[in-house]
Amino acid sequence: MVKAYKIPIESPRDLIEAYFEVKKKALREILNHVTYSRTGKTHLNFRADKRRELRNKLLKDWRYSKHYIDSAINSVIGLVKGWIKLYNRGKAKSSPEITKKTVYIKNTLFSYKNGVLKISIEPRRRYLEVDLRRYDYLPKDFDSIGGLILTESELVITFKKLVKEVKPKKWASFDVNLTNITTLINEKIVRYDLRQLYHIHRVYEIKGRKIQQLAGHKPKTAKKLMKKYSRRERSRARDFMHKLTTEITRELSELESGAILENLKNIKSRVLRKSRNPNRKLSKWNARMFQSMLEYKLKWLGLPVKYVNPKNSSKTCPLCSGRMAAYGGRLMKCLKCGLVLDRDIVAVLNLQMWGSGVTPKALIEASASMMGKRLIDQNPQISMKVYQL
């Protein structure tokens, strides 16, 4: 498993600029070795001797560690190859360009000891030291550090870990809605409040509308503002989801529980994009973010994640498999046995049964004696816990 984290950093500007220039030079050279065949296909013909030649040329007046030149050449070759693939499929718009000022740092260019990363800038003279212990959100349980990426203001670190798969003792199921996430964890229904997240999105929606009014006479400013605010919205939403998924992961890891999630791929993204209802879009967006974060965090610990087709998950009776119909508000009633339940709870019960192949016995037995009543109010087994972050 690999995990990437960003930390803010004061980058050595001179190296960033020098590397940027060297990449541009390398690109100009390497593009001379792209050939076009009669059929209109392109191909890169850049042999080892040519590469050595380029390397030597770029190393002249280069005062930084030599490995940076190799990494620059590799990254440009990767860029050109990617472009060729697109070109041959008729999808490349213009020729490739170096636009980003990022430096890839191979693992031969740094050492890691007692929590401190020491990155070589100039051989045996100049180093960039980063004390990772200062960032408490970074993982501590990793085996090694892979490559690093340095930008003008950030350092991206990839952590590697060999993960052994855990055989789960139980399964938890999750149903993500607009204002809550309903879960069945350890035979208990727990509901996580998403209203705070919904509020974040609403605030930015209103801001967006105000900016739109500005777009008429100040289009450039409006565009800039829009970009800034949508970035801020995404980052606040991400922070919220990180906290939530970290908490859930901690709980599942204590229980040695796997997770059952709805397979959202069954909902066509094209349909979703065209959906007029912004709340529906938002809800799916939240669900995707929640799922990918939770999956990542669980897999890092070796806990499995299963995806289940959610079709009819809130319309099938978890007791008798009969059809359920809307019964006012968020409630559903079984047309066959009369069970009345909150639709999100119906969904997590079904997801858990379908995903694990095991019926949550205690719950179903409890439900059987409660037929026709509002289960969640009267049954301590399924008492709702509401978490707020």
Nearest to 83 by CA among 72, 95, 75: 95
Nearest to 242 by CA among 309, 182, 292: 292
Residues 174-213 that bind Zn ion (CB under 5 A): none
Query: Shortest gap between Cβ of 321 and Zn ion (angstroms)?
Result: 7
Site string for Zn ion, 303-342 (x = CB under 5 A): --------------x-xx-x-----------x-xx-x---
Alpha-carbon Rg for the chain in angstroms: 27
CB nearer to Zn ion: pick between 138 and 320: 320
Query: Shortest gap between Cβ of 365 and Zn ion (angstroms)?
Result: 14
CB nearer to Zn ion: pick between 334 and 376: 334
Query: Shortest gap between Cβ of 315 and Zn ion (angstroms)?
Result: 11
334 forms beta bridges with 324
CB nearer to Zn ion: pick between 203 and 325: 325
Query: Shortest gap between Cβ of 180 and Zn ion (angstroms)?
Result: 24
Helix (H, G, I), strand (E, B) or coil at 39: coil
Query: Shortest gap between Cβ of 260 and Zn ion (angstroms)?
Result: 21
Helix (H) or strand (E) run with residue 127 in it: strand 126-131
Number of residues that bind Zn ion (CB under 5 A): 8
DSSP designation for 381: G
DSSP codes, 67-91: HHHHHHHHHHHHHHHHHHHHHHTT-
Query: Shortest gap between Cβ of 318 and Zn ion (angstroms)?
Result: 8
Nearest to 25 by CA among 88, 82, 68, 84: 68
Site string for Zn ion, 264-303 (x = CB under 5 A): ----------------------------------------
Our measurement of the distance from residue 137's CA atom to the centroid of its chain's CA atoms, rounded to an integer in Å, reads 16
Query: Shortest gap between Cβ of 339 and Zn ion (angstroms)?
Result: 5
**80: contact with Zn ion by CB under 5 A:** no
- Using CA atoms, how far apart are residues 262 and 341, in angstroms rounded to an integer? 19
CB nearer to Zn ion: pick between 149 and 320: 320
CB nearer to Zn ion: pick between 211 and 351: 351
Our measurement of the distance from residue 28's CA atom to the centroid of its chain's CA atoms, rounded to an integer in Å, reads 35
Burial of 56 (0-12, 13-18, 19+ CB in 10 A): exposed
Output the six-digit token pair for 216.
Answer: 């008429």
CB nearer to Zn ion: pick between 302 and 322: 322
CB nearer to Zn ion: pick between 117 and 324: 324
Output the six-digit token pair for 164.
Answer: 């052994």
Query: Shortest gap between Cβ of 324 and Zn ion (angstroms)?
Result: 7
CB nearer to Zn ion: pick between 102 and 350: 350
Residue 219 region by backbone torsions, left for phi larger than 0, else alpha for psi between -120 and 50, else beta: alpha
Interface contacts to Zn ion, rule CB under 5 A: 317, 319-320, 322, 334, 336-337, 339
